[in-house]
Every structure is written in structure tokens, then in C-alpha cells.
Structure 1
Amino acid sequence: MATVAEMRERLRRPLAAELAAGCADRVVAGGVERLLASPLANPFPGVREALRGYAGHDEAGRAEALRAALALLDGQDQAASAPRPARPAAKPAVPTAAPGERLPPDAEVTRLDSGPGGARKLQSLGLRTLRDVLHAYPHRHEDRRALPDLSEVEEGQKVTVEGTVIAKSRRKPKPNMLILDVTLETPSGGRVKASWFNQPWVERQLKEGARLVLTGRVKTFGRSVQLGVEHLETVEDAQGSLSTGRIVGVYDSKDGISQEFLRRTAFRALQAVPLDDYLPAHWRQKYGLTDLGDALHGMHFPHDEAQLERAFARLRFDEYLFLELRVLLQGEDVVLLGKRFQATGHDIATFEAALPFQLTGAQRRVLLEITDDMRSERQMARLVQGDVGSGKTAVAACALYLAVRDGYQGALMAPTEILARQHYANLVGYLGKLDVRVGLLIGAMTPRAKLEMQTRIAEGEVDVVVGTQALIQENVRFDNLGLAVVDEEHRFGVMQRRKLLAGRPDVLVMSATPIPRSLALTAYGDLELSVIDELPPGRTPIETKLIQDTHRQQAYGFVMRQIREGRQAFVVTALIEENENLELLAATQLADDLKVILPEARIELLHGKMTAAEKDHVMDRFRARAFDILVSTTVIEVGVDVPNASVMVIENAERFGLAQLHQLRGRVGRGSAQSYCVLIAGEHSKKTRQRLKIIEGSTDGFVIAEADLKLRGPGEIRGTRQSGIPDLRLGDLASDVEVIERARELAKYILAHDPRLEHPRLQYLKSELQSRSQSVAFREVI
């Protein structure tokens, strides 16, 4: 049971918060009077009395009542007879800036004269320094230079009007309904009636003679115009120019914090902070950027559309520049010396001659980019992206061969044992004829076999090692590691990867997960980007069909026909509410249902609750054709080859992102037979159908990934939440590729010439970068 002291504190905190938030009766759920009716206030009858009728007071009355109640709770009233321990002396208030005084960007908002309780309001929005205020950009702008003639507006149109209150009234047509009406006279002499429903707190702002700016939807009644108000601002004469007669910014806010207050604060911050530019003039000229002062004034208080456009371009560029600088600096070093390989054209030709096929043009182009890096004395750090079946492994095999030809060892690290075995088999096929010794090191090996392989690696008797995380265990020592290939890099932790890279080998990262170029440039900002955007000739595209769940029976009839022709099929169930138990239940039920629907078929189940060894065993049996249909949850590994599987059925396809559907579809079509993907939609809405039609109509993973980015946003695309990409205020990853590339170019130039930003001319840039970085650990990097 709570003590009286505990109850006093639990009551005091919401009342203090209500006072700080402007007394709008919105802090406490249900209002202050409901709080006082709770048992929490029983020991404090004086507080109940002080706040009686709180909701009916105006703002000044509420504030006075709250101060009296807090004084009672703090024991400062004369009736409090019990001795209280001495309270620590209050810290002296931080003096606000004198008129005209200049303040640094990192000055706290308490230094700004933002009126009574102003600093608390700003802090409640997460704005603690003047830099925060300057970069809390409006989320939209309204053109209030020429507000509409109300005689010409249409029914239902959303408009903003300015005017003076000439009449007001309040009505209660029902016991639980309050309607506030005002008549507003506009500067042109027109009149508009505005109404608020069940918003009693608005009434104190609706005084006759008050100047208001209202936004809402129009209703017309003959010649009269009525506005259903969605947004209200009061305009003080001294600050009227900030809210009317210009292009006006509208900020993110919350109850009790007005737009007028936020505009006034931004205006004062712009006056107080010297807007020295952290980008030198020659860089601004090269990239066509305006100066910082013009940009910040133009974002908050633009003179015209042109200034707003300049501001947006500059501040969006800065967002990406600081993002790219941060990503590049998060490595232990910016520029590392790596290995320097010969990588001769003769050796490349020798490798290709040993292949049972010819490289595509895209493979050759990417190989040229890789070999240019390998010949450089700087450490290669390159991401090779390619859709399913585009031939990334053959390109990586060539790079490994070039490293071995120069006397180095190579390593390929895969996220699972299934994929490690698959890569091992492929590399033996590619490199075995060229006298390259390929070894395998995975957790499932016996201790004796592991020790033997570790010894051979340490003594240089293995040229290329394929493995899982077993490659980065402490007892693995390479004799002379020159090139590390990491498959599906996002599946590994940063520290795991760094263990493999401790000897500073060149690094090649492979990914079969199509990522839009803009996202790759930010998520993998420390890597150069190569894309294999061409499939080998002769591959038959996978036919994809979208059907409703009402036609499920036909879909499985088609699956059975394929099985009778000697083929196999995957059936995948969707993740249900991030709940592995429910997902397993759904998959188990589906497998049982299919055994009834398809009694001839041999059906087995794969799910996330299985151990790695159990999953491997099921996949090995499926590959060996021991059964016909694999019912699986979403644990099917990217890159797993089952050449005889020709059908992929995806249940409840609407629950997947487009990029994930494309990845799942890539589990079939690995052999020579025509393959099919059937998307079964459990939801029949037009929006769902339009989205899934994208995957039905395209087999290009990058086109699909771009569409996924536009539909879902970067945070939901696989793996990017962990990549450190912040929420961008101005940037749009779906359309900013060119801007990102220019910002990245400048970031790389800056760090190539000054990896620690130590030059005096870069100190302001360095300071700005540190201030924008939320992570203390990151600040220590620079």
C-alpha cells in the first residue's frame, strides 16, 4: 500500500505537468477533476477544494488554482504544522539573452526569451538547444500572401482565412454537446461563420476583437459561408507578420503549444544565432547550394517560392552529407591500406576459360570494378548486388582466384551451414580445375575434422576457406588472408565481421536482396556499390499468378499436376503478428490440410523452432527428392538451391513486403524447367490487389524494391532499421538518388583528404557533425 508521501508525489507530478503545459486540461486522461475524484487525492482535501471547478476556469484561473494546490502539496501553506526538512536551494535561473546578444547554436533554449513557460514547452517537443529549434523545420507551408475570396470557394474545399472576431456564442443542443460559434470579419470586409464542436478549451481564445487565422473545410448555405475549424491560431499585432501576409510554416506541435509560439521562437533563434556556414563557398558553388543563413531563413520564413526551394535543396543535401560522413566514420578507420594484387587480364581470362559458361556483360563490368579496387593499395570495400541467379558467386570466385594467384588466401563467410555447403560445392566446381585448394569449416563438423581444417588454414595448405561464423572463432588463424567475401552481410553483426577483417584483407560483400540504389548508398555508405543487373542467357522467367483465396483449390490442383510430372513445390505461410508460436501453428495446420487435399503428395514441414541441424536435414532430404511439398514458415534461406522445385505457393501474400515476396519466389527457377509462383491473397481490397500486381507483372528485383520503398518507406525494408539510417526530415529515399550520390561524393572527398576532420577550416563542420550525432559512442570516433 502506498504511503502518504508516495501518494503526494504521484498527485504532484501530473499537476505540475499540467501547469507547465499551459493549463489546457489535456495532460491528465479525463481531466484534472477526474484525477481529483480518484482515491489518490483522498489524503489531500485542501487540494481538492483548491481545484474545484477547474475545467470551467479560464487559463489564468486554472494556473492560479494549480499553484495553490502545488503549494499545499509541497507543504508551503500556513496550515502545514509538521516540520519539513530544508529543501535544497533552487539553482539560479539561467539568464535569458539580452536584446541583441548573440548565442551559440548549442545554447540551451532557456537562454531564449520565449515567454512564461516557453522553455518547458520547447523541451516537451524535444527541442533543448537553439540548433534543435533551427532544424525543427515546418512539415508544410501555407501561402497566406493572398487568402481566398470566400465568395469563390467550393463546398468541401479546405481553406485558411484571417479575420477579426465580431460576434461569438455558445450552444448546448444536447446535454453532452457544446457548439462554439464565432463570426469573423475578413480584411476584405467579408464574413465567415466558424464552429467548434465539444472543444470548450478553445473558448478563451474567442474574444471579440481577437485576430484569428483559421483553417478548415467550407460549407456553403446560400450566400453564407461556414467553416468547420480544424486548426486555430491567434495573431498578436506585434507578431502578425509571422503568421499572415506571407508563406507560413506549419510545425509539428501538440496541445497547448501554438503555431504562433513556435514561429516566434524560430524567428528569435534566427536572430540570436550567428549562421556561420560549415560548408566553404567553393563547395557550395560546386554543388549549386545556397548559404546556410539563406537556407534556414528560407525554410522558416521564405520570402517567395524560390527561396523556399533553395532552402529545401540545401538542407536536404546537408542531411545526406552528415549521414554519409557518419556512416563512413563509424568504421575504425576511414582509409585503410589493404593488399595490392596484380589482378592481370591473363589470369581473368584463365579463370573464365575454365567455366562451363560465358560471363555476362554485367558480370564483366562488375569484375572490372572489383579488379580496379584490388590493384589499388587502398583496402577494397565493395558491395556486389545482384538478383537471384545473376551470377554473383562466379564473380566472387574469380576475385578469390586472383587473390590466390598472388599468394594470398581467400575466405567466404555465409550466414548458415546450408549456404556454406552450397558455396563450397560451387567454388570447388569453379576453382577445382585451376588447382585451387578449397576447404570447408562449419559448426557441424566433428572436433577432429575442425582441428585438422584449422591446422591446414594456419599452415597455408588451404587456399580458399568457406564457412559460417566458425571462421571468426578465436582458434582460427589464417596464414595470409588477402580477400574476404561476406555473403548476405546484413545477417552478421558488426563485431563479427570485424573479427574476420582484422588482418585488413580486401572485402567483397554479396547480397541477393535487391535494395534500391538510394537505400544502398545510405545503408552501406562505407562500401562502393556494384550491381549485376543482367541474368545469364537461357534462363526462363518465373511465371507469377495472383489469385484470391476463394480459388485456392485450383492452385493446389496445379501443384499436384507438377508433382505428377516429377517436380517439387514450396508452400510458404505468412508471419502472424511477429509470433513464432502462432506462425508454427498456422504452418502445421496448413500441412495437415494439404495432406487431406493432396493425398498422393509426400508433405513435410520446416519452421523456425527447429535447430539448425534439423533444418539442414529437412532441406537435404527435399533436395534429394525424398518428399514432394515443403510447407515452410518464412525461414527458407536466401540462396538455397533445390533445382527440381518448380512451384512456389505463398499463402496470405498480402502480409509480405514486395521485396520479400520476390526473394521467396527466387527459391524456384533454379533448374532448367519452367517454374511458377502462385500468390494467394486472403485480403481482397483494391489496394492489396494493386500492390501484389507489381510482383505479378515484374521479375526485376530492383524495380520491385523501388516500388516497395515507395509503398512502405525505408524503415520497413529488410534490415535497414539496424543500419542506423535516421528518420529524414527532408530527404526522400525513394527519389533522392542523385542528391545522395552528390552528398556521398563530397563526404568521401572530405575524409580522403582529412580523415579526422582536423583542419581548422573543418572545425565548424566537425562540431556540427558531433552535435547532430545522438550517439555518445559515435562522438568518440571523431
Structure 2
Amino acid sequence: MATVAELQEKLRRPLAAELAAGCTDRVVAGGVEKLLASPLGNPFPKVREALAGYAGLDPAAREAALTQALELLSGRTRAAPARAAVRKAPPPAEPGTRLAVDAPVDRLDAGPGGARKLQSLGLHQLRDVLHAYPHRHEDRRALPDLSEVEEGQKVTVEGRVVSKHRRTPRPGMLILEVVLETPSGGRVKATWFNQPWVEKQLREGARLVLTGRAKKFGRSVQLGVEHLETVEAAQESLSTGRIVGVYDSKEGISQEFLRRAAYRALQAAPLDDYLPAHWRRQYEVTDLGDALWGIHFPADETHLSRADKRLRFDEYLFLELRMLLQGEDAVLQGKRFEARGEDIHRFEQALPFRFTNAQRRVLLEITDDMRSDRQMARLVQGDVGSGKTAVAACALYLAVRDGYQGALMAPTEILARQHFTNLVNYLGPLDVRVGLLIGAMTPKAKLEMQTRIAQGEVDVVVGTQALIQENVQFDHLGLAVVDEEHRFGVQQRRKLLQSRPDVLVMSATPIPRSLALTAYGDLELSIIDELPPGRTPIETKLIQDTHRTQAYGFVMRQIREGRQAFVVTSLIEESDTLELLAATQLADDLRVILPEARIDLLHGKMSAAEKDHVMERFRAREFDVLVSTTVIEVGVDVPNATVMVIENAERFGLAQLHQLRGRVGRGSAQSYCVLIAGEHTQKTRKRLKIIEGSTDGFVIAEADLKLRGPGELRGTRQSGIPDLRLADLANDAEIIERARELAKHILAHDPKLEHPRLQYLRSELQSRSQSVAFREVI
């Protein structure tokens, strides 16, 4: 049985989340009052009293009530603030009355129980109704001719009932049928199953407008009716005779109700525009009123397209503004480097290879930033082997030449050691002192390295999170390079950046430009989209699981030639225990299939040190086959591994498959990737054929985005991308870049949005933000 302290914590967490989300009563399923009415609230009568009538309070009163409730739960008490009495909902405004966009939906004339229905969908203010866009649109303009209708197509027809039939083929089943004659003289049969209430509208001679899916029987058309109206009603209808929006809803709340609510909201709201006319002209977007009417009730396809473009632009604009303001780094003064051309030339001359054109282009973008007064905040994306580390090493060299220190932070110790080795090779011949600081070092070695860093005796430090511990003091940090930044928390990154060095972020995870611009909204983007010459592409083969034996026969041949192999398994559901069982079972199976091979295991229940130890042994060739779940680290080099076998490949996204494939091909020998598919559908084969046919990570990432959507591709929670209602990240790169351009222009001229002309934009930005903490930024 739970203790009082445990119950307090269980109740505290959702209440704290509600406060952090801006007191919207949306965080807790069913609302705060429903939570307190559950058994969880019973032991805390004072908390229930503090939050009584929560749904009816305004935001300020909700915040005060939540604060008091959380203090009661934490055991701190104070004199209860004077609270406004729980107010009854104000009466709906008279038709034609203008309402503020933040007016509660109680004020909207939405019919009996209308406000309660809207609130149950999370629509609490007029603005919520305005921006609850339809998730799709149906063309319900009546078709004059049905001869071109396709099987299964949803159509709307208008006509006169010429005959009616009622059938009960068996007890409990009622079929109503009418034949409708259209204005062109064509006839269509319409049917209703078990809907006796429509019968009174189906009299002969009645003029009806019907919407449904068409079924073709030779030259005749039959309609399974989904929506019916009389012609007289349709002339005033929001649900037929036009392009009609279809909204997210739930049982008991009809589409007709939601359309009427949207219509009333559009009539009542002052649709003033927060974008001045000159920006609308510059970015070729319509005004806000036209866009909101067009998304809910478009006059035609052109109006809908115009509305969609403006509202998508707004979604990205507010996202970019929010990320740039939250990032803070965007407006900081940074270091100003000379970044001399002769130093770049000297660095390249010391390399055993020449930079590719893509590396040169990205290095030019980096040096432009370094020469500026503003703090560099740039993301360098590049596929495995594209040469990101060499570019970062050159930037670190430029910082050192100007008398600064550099730091490179990696997410794991094995990657930190790998970067340390590479930087010693790149920078050692140029008399740059490179140091390593990781958790596995002895206390004495750590202290010695920390002392050398503080005294400026180390030029470039490579490390893990050990670099952001409080006892690490840099003498003069000028440039921080962060590898695989999404593996670190925002606060961790900022701790490294307290002395305002320039920041270079590296990622070997190719994601589409559109997604990168939103996921890393506070960073400029550079892409190394070219591989060095002479790299042998990895050969990829897709096979069915019925041919597994042949696949492992090939693995054994590679082992006999002195090579090594990865074998990766996947799960349908995430669970450390199931992951361990699956990996262990596969390793046992392979010991039977490959009796000559030395096999070891890597899985998610291991500690970081255990994983590092296994990988070091694999790199040292102490065994032949590494069976692993997806915990294989991005960027780890095992040059002797030439085969990657991925079991149940259909359970992975394309981008993840490409990342796994990149674990091989790190040496000079030809390497291979075998995708074993346990599912044999045409759709699965088509998707996996993309990987088999391409080694370009960006092409694959674009395909993955179109197939799976941004949430599944990176995880919206991890990447910071909120729900974008209209946005289409797979195709919106251009509109994102234009919105980003305007956001940067606005903040460059007015970092706090204080100009009177921007007050409405500022207000809209605050209203769209769910976070109380964010509101404090501006």
C-alpha cells in the first residue's frame, strides 16, 4: 500500500505539469477536477478545496490556486491568498457581438451544451476554435454528371426522389433505398442501413442533397449515404454544397456542430492581422482573416490553397521565433576570430588528403561566422565518412591560432577516445596540444588534466560530460564542438557555453533540411553532402527470412577471411527485459548456426562502462560477431567489421537502417549490409528497396520523412518540434526557410519584440506558447 508521501508525489507531478503548461486544464486527462475526484485526491481535502471549481477560473486564478495546492502538498503553508469566488460561466454573447480572441468559449453562441462540448475537445478560448483547423476537406459541391465517378469515390449529388423502397431482409435489419434523379437526367440509387429516423425525409418528390461513397454496378451508380440534407436546408448549410472541413472530434460531437462553432467564432472574432501589410507582400501571403475563413470555409480550391500557405507560414514563423528566443545563444556576443586563409591552407597541407568541395563550402560558412562578433551557433550535418571531424578540427586549429582554447564534447567515452585519436593525428603535427578528460580516468589523472586546462597548458580538450562538471575551468575557451548534440540536454549544452564560445554542432544523423531547420531552430545549418573520392560504397542486399541460412553462410565466409560482423535485432515493443531476451536468444541461435565463430553480446541493460568494454574487445578482434540491439553507438569505428546483418529490418525506419549500415565500411575492404525481412508485404518490400538502392543518407531521410512523418522519424518530444497542425515537413523546406528568414530579421531589429507595431505579434506568440517559463523569456 502506498505511503502518504508516495501519494503526495503522485498528485504533485500532474499538478506541477499543469502549472508549467500555462494552467490550460489540458495536461491531465479529463481535467484537474476529475483528477481530484479520483481516489488519488481523497487523502488531501485541503488540496481539493484549493482547486475547487478550477475549470471555471481565469488563468491568473488557476495559477494562484495551483501554487497554493502545490505548497500544501509540499508541507509548506502560508496564509491563503484571497481568491475570487468560483464564477459561473457568463451568458453567451448576442449574435453579432464582437468578442476578444481570448474570450472563453462560454461567450460563443454554440447552442445548448456547446461550450461544454468544445471544452471537452480542449477548446477553451475563441482562439482555440479559430485555430482548430480541419484535418482534411471534402468537396461536397454537387456533381451534375455521375458518368465519370470512380469506385469508392466520395461524391455529393443533388436530385429529386422518384421512388422509395423499404426492406427488412431479416429481423433487426432495415434497408431504405431511394432512386434520385439528378438535374442532368441521370439516376442514382441511394441506400441507408438501420437508420429509421431518415425515412420521413425520403418522400417521393423531395429534393435532396446526398453525400456518400459510390459503388459502380456496370453503368449504374449506388451511393452509401453518409450525409443527407434537403435542398432548402442545404442552401443555408455549412455541411454541403461547398468544400467542407472535417474536424478532429469524438463520440457525441457532430461535424455539423463543429462547423457551426467555427462559423460563429469567425463571425465574432476581430481577425486583426499580427503581420504588417509590407511583410505580407514581401512573403506573398494573404491576410489572416482571409486565411482563417479559407481554411474553415473555402470558396474554392484557390482560396483553400491561399489559406493553407498563410497558416503554415505562421506555424513555422512562431516556431522559429520561439526557438530563437529560447535559445538565447542567437543574440549573444561571441568571440571574434581572425580565421586567416593561410592558417586554413597550412592545416590542409598537413592532412593526408585534400578537402572535398562540400567540406570547403562548409568551412567557408564556419569561418564567416567565426569572423563575426555574434556567437556562432551552427549545425554541421554529414553522412558517415563525409569528413565532419576534419572540418571541426580545422575550426579548432583556427581558434588555437588566435590564442583561444577549444573543446570537443562527445556523448560516450568510446567516442571521446576516438575523437581524441583523430584530433591528435590532425593537430599534433601542427604543435597543438590535445588533452582527454573522461569519467574513467583515475582521480589523479583527472585532477592533473583539470589543472592543465585551467592554466592554459592544453589547447584542445576532448571529453564527455566530464567537461561540464563544476571543477572544470577553461583558461580561455573560444570554440566548443558538440558531437551528436541531440544526445545531450539543453542545460548540459548551455553549461559548456557559459563563457560564450562559438558553438559548432556535428551530427552524422542525416535528416531532411526541412526537419533540421525546425529541430535545430536556434542553429544555422551546413550540410556536407559529398563523400571523399575513393570510398567503396557498401553493398546492400534485401532478403526474406526464409533465406537466413544463406545470409549467415556469407557471414561465415567473411569471418574465415579474417573479417568481423555485426548482427542487430529489433523488437516490436520497447522493453529492456524483452530486449535482453531477444538479443540473448539470437546470440544462442547464431552459436548453433556459426559454430566456428566467436560471438558476444551488447544490449541496453549494460552500463556505459560495460558497453565500452565490449566494443573495445570487438575493435581488438577478440571475437568475430557482435550481436546487438540498436544501442550500437553512432560513429564508433571498427575498421575490420565488413558485414552488418539486420534481423526483422521492416521494424526499423529507413534513416535508422542507414545509420546501422554505417557501422561497417569504415576500413579499406569492401563491406556489406544484409537486410532480413520477416514481413513480406509489397509495401514493406517497396520501403526497404529504398535502402537497398541508395547509400545517400539525405535521400533516404527524405523518403523516411514522407513515409513515417516527423514524429516517428526523430520523436517530436526529443527534437522540440511541437504539434504542427498544417505543416508538411516532407515538402516545406522553402516555406520554413522564408519563415526563419523573417523571424531572424524581426529579432535582429527588435530582440524583445518591444516596438508598438509588434505588440500584437508578441501577444500572439505568448498566447501560442504553452509554457509559463517561455512567456518569461519575452
Q: TM-score range by the shorter chain?
A: 0.7 to 0.9
- Deviates further, 751-760 or 210-219: 210-219
Note if 1:690 corresponds to 2:681.
Answer: no
Shift of 1:206: 7.2
Deviates more, 1:483-492 or 1:601-610: 601-610
CA distance in 2, matches of 1:403, 1:221: 76
Matched, 1:708 2:704: yes
Amino acid in the other structure paired with 2:103: A
1:763 aligns with 2:762: no
Aligned AA (2:312)? R
Asked whether the equivalents of residues 208 and 229 of structure 2 are also in contact (C-alpha less than 8 Å), the reply is: yes
Whole-angstrom distance in 2 between the partners of 1:131 and 1:570: 53
Q: Distance in 2 between matches of 1:728 and 1:178?
A: 43
Distance 1:245 1:445 in 2: 74
Offset, 1:234: 7.2
Q: Is 2:155–2:214's contact at 8 Å kept on the other side of the alignment?
A: yes
Report the equivalent of 2:394. 398
Q: Distance in 1 between matches of 2:208 and 2:128?
A: 28
Q: Aligned equivalents of 1:436 and 1:89: distance in 2?
A: 69
For each residue in 1:348-398, what CA deviation from the matched residue of structure 2 results, as whole angstroms up to 9, or x when unmatched? 111111112111111111111101101101000000000001111111111
* Contact 1:239 1:264 (C-alpha < 8 Å) held by counterparts: no
Mapping of residues 238-253 of structure 1, within 5 Å:
240-253=236-249
Q: Equivalent residue of 2:725, what SS?
A: coil
Q: Deviations over 1:674-732 (max 9, x none)?
A: 11111111111111111111001100000000010011000011354322212222211
Report the secondary structure of 1:407's partner residue.
coil
> 2:735 is paired with a residue of what secondary structure?
helix
Q: 1:677 maps to which residue?
A: 673
2:406 is aligned with 1:426: no
Once the two structures are superposed, residues 629-663 of structure 1 have per-residue CA deviations (whole angstroms, 9 ceiling, x without a partner) of: 11111111000001111111111111111111111
Question: Is the contact made by 2:144 and 2:182 (CA closer than 8 Å) also made in structure 1?
Answer: no
Q: Per the alignment, in what secondary structure is the counterpart of residue 445 of structure 1?
A: coil
Contact 1:235–1:243 (8 Å) recurs in 2:
no
Aligned to 2:443: 447
| Structure 2 counterpart of 1:463 | 459
Q: Distance in 1 between matches of 2:589 and 2:220?
A: 65
* 1:599-748 pair list within 5 angstroms: 599-748=595-744
User: For residues 559 and 422 of structure 2, what CA distance do their matches in structure 1 show?
Assistant: 27
Q: Quick check: 1:563 aligned with 2:559? A: yes
C-alpha displacement of 1:409: 1.0
The aligned counterpart of 1:122 is 118
Specify whether residues 219 and 400 from structure 1 end up closer, same or farther in structure 2 by C-alpha distance, changes over 3 A only: closer
1:347 partner amino acid: D
**Post-superposition offset of 1:750:** 0.5
Find the aligned partners of 1:142 and 1:615 in 2 and give their Cα distance.
54
State the SS of the aligned residue for 2:169. Answer: strand
1:308 maps to 304
Which residue is 1:515 aligned to? 511
Q: Distance in 1 between matches of 2:198 and 2:405?
A: 74
Q: Deviations over 1:141-171 (max 9, x none)?
A: 3334443435765665432234677987765
Work out the CA distance in 2 between the residues paired with 1:519 and 1:716.
12
Match of 1:229 in 2: 225
Aligned residue pairs: how many?
695
CA contact (8 A) 1:234 1:260 kept: no
* Mean CA deviation greater in 591-600 or 627-636: 591-600
Question: How far apart, CA to CA, are the structure 2 residues paired with 1:221 and 1:437?
Answer: 81
Q: Cα gap change, 1:226/1:357 in structure 2, threshold over 3 Å: closer, same or farther?
A: closer
Partners of 1:674 and 1:560 lie apart in 2 by 15
Matched, 1:149 2:145: yes
C-alpha contact (below 8 Å) 1:411/1:464 kept by paired residues: yes
Instruction: Specify the alignment match of 1:572 in structure 2.
Output: 568
Q: Kindly tell me: are residues 156 and 686 of structure 1, through their superposed partners in 2, closer, same or farther at Cα, counting changes over 3 Å?
A: closer
What residue is the counterpart of 2:67 in the other structure? none
Larger radius of gyration: 1
Q: Show the counterpart of 1:100.
A: 96
* Contact 2:566/2:626 (8 A) holds in 1: yes
Partner of 2:98, secondary structure, is coil
Q: Secondary structure in 2 aligned to 1:647?
A: strand
Partner SS, residue 714 of structure 2: coil
1:225–1:780 CA distance, 2 compared to 1 (3 A): same
Alignment of 1:144-543 (within 5 A): 144-150=140-146, 153=149, 156-162=152-158, 171-181=167-177, 192-198=188-194, 213-219=209-215, 226-232=222-228, 237=233, 240-332=236-328, 334-543=330-539
| CA distance 1:768–1:381, shift in 2 (3 Å) | same
C-alpha distance in structure 1 between counterparts of 2:496 and 2:292, whole Å: 45
Residues in 1 aligned to 2:634 and 2:681: alpha-carbon distance in whole angstroms:
30
Q: With the length of structure 2 as denominator, give the TM-score of the two structures.
A: 0.85
Report the TM-score when normalising by structure 1: 0.84
Q: CA deviation at 1:198?
A: 4.1
Asked if the contact 1:414–1:468 (Cα under 8 Å) also holds between the matched residues in 2, the reply is yes
Letter in 2 for 1:621: R
Deviation, 1:214, is: 3.1
CA distance in 2, matches of 1:151, 1:347: 74
> CA offset at residue 250 of structure 1?
3.0
**Equivalent residue for 2:134, pick from 126, 132, 138:** 138
Q: Secondary structure at the match of 2:509?
A: coil
Stretch of structure 1 that moved more, 283-292 or 93-102: 93-102
SS of the aligned residue for 2:238 comes to helix
Structure 1 Cα separation of the partners of residues 330 and 521 of structure 2: 12
1-structure distance, mates of 2:229, 2:577: 51
Stretches of structure 2 lacking an aligned partner (at least 5 in a row): 1-83
Does structure 2 retain, via aligned residues, the 8 Å contact 1:384–1:530?
yes
Contact kept, 8 Å, 1:490 with 1:719, in 2: the verdict is no
Distance in 2 of aligned mates of 1:235 and 1:765: 43
Cα distance in 2 between the residues matched to 1:685 and 1:167: 46
**Where does the alignment leave 5 or more consecutive residues of structure 1 unmatched?**
1-87
Contact 1:338 1:505 in 2 (8 A): yes
For 1:223 and 1:630, how far apart are their aligned partners in 2? Answer: 63
Q: Deviations over 1:460-505 (max 9, x none)?
A: 1111111111111111111111111100000011111111111111
User: Match of 1:325, SS?
Assistant: helix
SS in 2 for 1:177: coil
| Cα root mean square deviation, aligned | 2.5
CA spacing shift, 1:156–1:543, aligned 2, 3 Å: closer
Equivalent residue letter for 2:115: A
Aligned to 1:717, the other structure's residue is in SS state helix
